[in-house]
Every structure is written in C-alpha cells, then in structure tokens.
Chains A and B, each alone.
Chain A
Amino acid sequence: MRSKEKAEKIIKLRSLIDEVNVAMLTTLKANGEFYSRPMNTMELDDEGNIFFFSDEHTPEVDDIKLNNRASVTYTNPENNTYIALNGKLSIAQDQSKIDDLWVPACKAWFPEGRQDPNLSLIKVEVWKAEYWDTAQSDMVVLFNMLKAIIKGGTYDQGEHEEIDFKKETKKI
C-alpha cells in the first residue's frame, strides 16, 4: 500500500475512533484465556499505532510478553459505530513519547506524574481495521432493518470495509 493511501486510511480510521475514547483491549493469557479490559486511548498516530498508558505491575504486561497479538475494539452504541482492529502489541519504554501524550488527568492513575515508575506505554501496531458503519451497516440499525424487512430482500451488507495496513503481516 502506498504511503499516501495508508495516510488516507489512517485519517479515516481516526475519524471513526475520535468519537470513542475507551477501547476494549483483548489479549491472550499464557494459559490461553482471553483477557479483555477497557483502556483509555492516548493516541492513534500517523503510522497507525495506538498508545495506551499502563501500570507496569498489572498482569496485562506479563501477558504481552507471551503473546503480542491483540484485538482493540471501539464501540459507540449511541451512533452505532463498531470498530475492530488487530495489531501487534509491545511495551514501549519511551519517556519522550510519554511526555508527549501526558495530560494532567492521567494523575488519577499515576500520582507521581509522567515520571511515575509504574507508568509504561502500550503500543499496538494496527495491521487490520474493520468497521461496521451506521448508515449502511449490516449491524442492528432499526430503521434500516425495517427497510430490509419491508423490501423482503437480503439486507444490504453496506460499507463493511477492511482497511488492510500490512497485508504481509497476516501471513504470520
């Protein structure tokens, strides 16, 4: 994918997740169990990386060391936005990035501020993005469904578009 094309897709993705701050991050534990938890999104950067602040002593950090494939989803029932991303997860020890992303509200979890020893940065390199868009989605949107039911036909699947950032990563 050309860089211009990628930039446009990231802009599109950013516009979709802009309405939702809290992502559901799902990884796999060492024993194969799923581990899902809500996380506050700090940034989606121009390269397609998503950043979260995390406490280095929480279990998720150990899980990441064992399995770095993550699912990040954004849902907004108010306007029927459903986004599912897949990516490679890593812990970034990047103080300058932490400084860039830090906002005073983060003090609620990291009272010692941006230098808090418990603070670490989770980075997800997104390689697949899917979304189910309100207007033409195949998801539950009452007025559209009624239309489909009245017409008696199969509901138009609509804009269910996959934004594939790195096709080659899928082979791994």
Chain B
Amino acid sequence: MNYPENIKKLKDLLSHSRICMLSTYTNSEGVHTRPMAFQQLEEDGSIWFFTNEYSPKTEEISINHEVSISFSNESQSNYVVLKGQARLSKDKAKMEELFNPMVKVWFPKGLDDPKMALIKVEVVAAEYWDNTSSTMVMLFNAAKSLVTGEMYDEGEHGKINL
C-alpha cells in the first residue's frame, strides 16, 4: 500500500462523518476536547476547520501544535483516530474555497467576519479499528519515519478492548 492509497482509504472511512472531536493540550486540563464540524480530508492529508480566531483552541494550538482528532460512530462500528500538527491560518482564498451555508451558523457575516480564521491540521498518523475484529490498524505513521527512517507503518497491531 502506498501513501495515496492510504489517503483514499482514510477518505472512505471518513466519508460519512460530519463531526469529529478535536483534542488540544492545555496546561490546566491536560487534554481539552470539543466537537468540530468536519469538511473533508484534502489530498495532501490535511484537514481544515473554521474557527473563531480568539477561541481557546487557537491559543492552545499556538502553544502546542500537537492535536488528536477522533471520529466515533458506534452504530457503524467506525472508529478513526488521527494525529497531527495544527496551525492557525488566515488564508482568505482557502476560506472562500471551503465556505458553505453551514459555516454561517457561526459566522453570520460570512466571509467578511473579521473573527473568521482557519485551523489547518497536517495529519501525520492515522489509525482505525477494524469493525469485525476490533483490531487497531495503523494506516500510516509519517511521524515514525523521523525516528526510524521507515516511511510508513501499516498493518494490524495491537488489540483494543471494544
């Protein structure tokens, strides 16, 4: 399996997901998690979220870029966990590209809202739990390559109590 195929597999796994849980690091709580509207996984493996520029999560990612994103759907036994690095972006062209009526719920002024910003997460690792065996499957782990020189790690490893 090569990298684009892993992205394709991941896209398939996330194709019905509209909401995910985004975890950031905070000194006070350790892990701070909230639901976020999920749009899509980009071809380059990144995920973009709309955010208020002055929300706690933007401050949290400015201190620590590491985030975890999880998708759970119990009725479909679909569990996906991503890890990546998050950064705030004010990329106007990207906002225009991603903007849709749902975003108006949070930004009634639309693209002219000065508080509107984006969070870009560059996904470096992806895991899912196989719904027949409850076995965790690592789709890719680019972070690992920095340490071991291996490009991607894949295949089943570890059993999780589901």
Interface residues of A (CB under 8 A from B): 20-22, 24, 26-28, 32-40, 52-55, 58, 67, 69-71, 73-78, 80, 82, 84, 86, 109, 128, 130, 132, 138-140, 145, 148-149, 152-155, 170, 172
Contacts and interface: CB of A to CB of B under 8 A. Distances in A.
Contacts of B68: 26, 34-36
A32 B23 CA distance: 13
A38 B160 contact: yes
Given A21-B74, A132-B35, A37 B104 contact: no
Dominant secondary structure of chain B at its interface with chain A: strand
Interface in B86-124: 101-102, 104-106, 108
A96 B159 CA distance: 26
Given A58-B158, A82-B19, A109-B159, 20 more contacts: A24-B72, A28-B30, A32-B66, A34-B67, A35-B68, A36-B68, A36-B70, A39-B162, A52-B161, A53-B161, A71-B32, A71-B33, A73-B33, A76-B75, A77-B18, A138-B105, A140-B37, A140-B102, A148-B108, A170-B28
B120 to A, nearest CB: 17
Contacts of B160: 37-39
A21 B161 CA distance: 12
A35 B25 CA distance: 12
A26 B108 CA distance: 33
